[in-house]
Structures are given as C-alpha cells and as structure tokens.
Amino acid sequence: MEIIRESVDHAIFGVLAVLDGVAGGYPVEGVMSDFSLELQTYADGAARRENAAGLSVRINPSDTTVLLHDMFRWKLDAKSDG
C-alpha cells in the first residue's frame, strides 16, 4: 500500500510542477505560453454551460513565489512529521 501512495504523491507532484511551469517547457512549443488553473463562479447553471463566469481567480499566477508543487510537498512533509 505504501508504494501506491508514494506513486500517487509523485504523480500529483509532477502534474503540479507542469502547471507551475517548472517542468516540461512551454505547452505550445515556440510560443510564450503556460497552463492556467482557475476557480470560476457562475450565477447559475445556464451561465456555467455558456462559460460566462461571474468571477475567475487564477490559482497558479505566473508571478507567484509560492508554487503549487512546493505547497503540495510541504503538506506531505507536515503530514509525515505529524
């Protein structure tokens, strides 16, 4: 069971590193690009179907110093210490 948990942890860490832009290079080769992970809110179901977000907050802004893969690793380390 331990090997499964470690495999999942490494897979999540890798995906977050790609979202953070520190692994894999630009998503569109030769073009300045990145992946954007956003939380969006909608007034109702119709607005969601039309992709008409009322509010959109980027969770992984390109100017942040706190990267998603680092936060994930800190959570794992705190869990193993606790």
pLDDT, one tens digit per residue, over 40-75 is 999 999 999 999 999 999 999 989 999 999 999 999
Which amino acid, one-letter code, is at 63? D
Whether 23 has a pLDDT exceeding 70, the answer reads: yes
Domain limits, the chain:
2-81
Query: What pLDDT is recorded for position 35?
Result: 94
Q: How far is CA 38 from CA 7, 29, 55, 72, 73, in A?
A: 26, 22, 10, 17, 21
Q: What is the mean pLDDT of the chain?
A: 93
d(CA 55, CA 66): 22
Q: Percentage of the chain with pLDDT > 70?
A: 99
